Chains A and B, each alone.
Chain A
Amino acid sequence: MKYILMMTGTKADCDSYFKWSKKDLQASVAFMRAFSKELKDSGTFVASEGLGFPDQAKIVRAGDDGLPVTDGVFPEAKEFLMGYWIVDVESPEQAYAIAARLSAAPGPGGIQGMQPIEVRQIMTSAPAEWQ
């Protein structure tokens, strides 16, 4: 079964990221590299991407003429998707354990962030089995 682990944050969280020390940034990158390698070595890795910062995010809707109408103004409290990992595991508990590792990624001052990670199952295309 496949799960997506989503790391989210507000615009304020992202702004604070710009003020991290070099050492903290290096620790963060090193953690993410090791984490990614761990997923790959364990045979659970499916995909992972990081996303651009929220100040470049746009909400798009179709206008009356069908053309895109964009809006870039968001409420301060809005949670943005920052990046995601897709893993193929044998139980939901295994997905939660991986998410907990991610949540404990080091933050500023080397202190673990304990960030919330949203875990969602990915739907399969398997049709129902009706006997």
Chain B
Amino acid sequence: MAVTGQPADDPIGRLLRELTPQVLGTVVRRFRDFAAAEDAMQEASLAAAVEWLREGLPDNPRAWLTQVAFRRMADHIRSESARRRRESQVAGAAAQTPEAAALAPVPEEDDTLILLFMCCHPALTPATAIALTLRAVGGLTTAQIAHAFLVPEATMAQRISRAKQTIKNSGVPFELPTAEERARRLRAVLHILYLIFNEGYTSSTGPDLRRGDLSHEAMRLTRIVHHLQPNDPEVAGLLALMLLTDARRLARTGAGGEGIPLAQQDRALWDRQQIAEGVALISATLPKGAVGPYQLQAAIAAVHDEAVRFADTDWPQILALYDLLRRMTDNPMVALNHAIAAAMVHGPAKGLELLDALKADTRLADHHRWDAVRAHLLELAGDLQGALSHYRAAAGKTASLPERHYLLTQAARLSTCDS
């Protein structure tokens, strides 16, 4: 994992990141203080990284980490209660004396799911939930997360500590939510994992290569959730969606970091093995019945990935899937993609008609993507002048440099034809 600048084959880093949620779960269970336990966990990980590199791996790395984290917690509680004896809630809240708690045997349960529910708590904003999840469950350091999001480390540290404060104030108990609540909270977890994936996936180019690792981290965490909840079809759907989308990573940007649209990608660069895994997963999941938005998006990605050439794309099937997806979500980007699929099946006039109707959606009316799609469909319809002006309008609105470059290039291509 190279979010760090560490080599991807760094075995100690990998092991630490695997153990982080398990050990942290144990520490939180023992001491009932998530915020302090999370700090203790970071310190224990840092100690392990140094110690294991020098002395080699201990016989039982998980027990080693747990003991060090326990000792840090015990130290923390002692100093807290000494300093603020009259309001020593932390020590009061602990089930046992710090010494006894630190020495008690370590249970083997896996609290990763509880941790994820906590880190993706609806009281947190997406940006803070993302940061907290990457640290507490992903085992990344604050510096690594700050690096990935291109903000100073102090800013990321503040964001994480505020997130922990919010959780503390909300008084969420460290346990699985009730059965009724669990489905809703699992959706929140999947949403955060999806955002982490996108954060990495949409910026996996050139100087930001390290950010691409965020999508691998999102896939690793989603795999863990899938392992813990193998029968949830939306978890499987999200994992399949990530695999099938990430499979195109190498083909989707050119040498200069410019985006390459699906139609022009060199499909020989797609990761066939990952596509096979994603297709198998979504194929096994869809027949289970409870179809949700992630499964549908994965199914759409699978149809794209299975087309040998762009011209072979099974657009009627994609349109049918978008029809279903539109009924499940009012995401405006889904509506735009639906219009494109309709244009590919029924001709650009149909797509443009749907697009006109979408202009009433305030989320799209001033969105560059609406203009970009309109430009594309107008070009398909042969209205090059209209296409040119909408490519330019889209270029003026996007906040992405590579996308602006792409849209201006499209406009330049048309204006050359014109003259």
Contacts and interface: CB of A to CB of B under 8 A. Distances in A.
A126 B151 contact: no
A43 B203 contact: no
Contacts of A79: none
Interface in B366-404: 372, 398-404
A123 B258 CA distance: 14
Nearest to B341: A131
Contacts of B202: 126-127, 129
Nearest to A44: B155
Interface string B116-144: 00000000011110000000000000000
A43 B164 CA distance: 13
Contacts of B158: 40-43
**Dominant secondary structure at the B interface:** helix
Contacts of B127: 88, 90
A90 B125 CA distance: 8
Query: What's the interface size class on B, roughly?
Result: 35 or more
A33 to B, nearest CB: 16
B325 to A, nearest CB: 11
A71 to B, nearest CB: 30
Interface string A94-131: 00000000000000000000000000011111111111
A65 to B, nearest CB: 31
A125 B262 contact: no
A125 B400 contact: yes
Given A43-B162, A90-B125, A126 B203 contact: yes
Given A90-B126, A125-B402, A126-B400, A131 B262 contact: yes
A88 B406 contact: no
Given A46-B152, A127-B400, A131-B300, 15 more contacts: A40-B154, A43-B128, A45-B154, A46-B151, A90-B127, A122-B399, A123-B399, A125-B206, A125-B207, A127-B257, A127-B259, A127-B403, A128-B259, A128-B407, A131-B262
| List of 10 A-B pairs having minimum Cβ-Cβ separation, nearest first | A127-B259, A43-B159, A43-B158, A128-B403, A127-B402, A126-B202, A130-B261, A128-B259, A123-B401, A126-B203
28 contacts: A2-B150, A40-B158, A43-B158, A43-B159, A43-B162, A45-B152, A45-B154, A45-B155, A88-B127, A90-B127, A122-B399, A123-B401, A124-B203, A124-B400, A124-B401, A125-B400, A126-B202, A126-B400, A127-B252, A127-B258, A127-B259, A127-B402, A128-B372, A128-B398, A128-B402, A128-B403, A131-B300, A131-B337
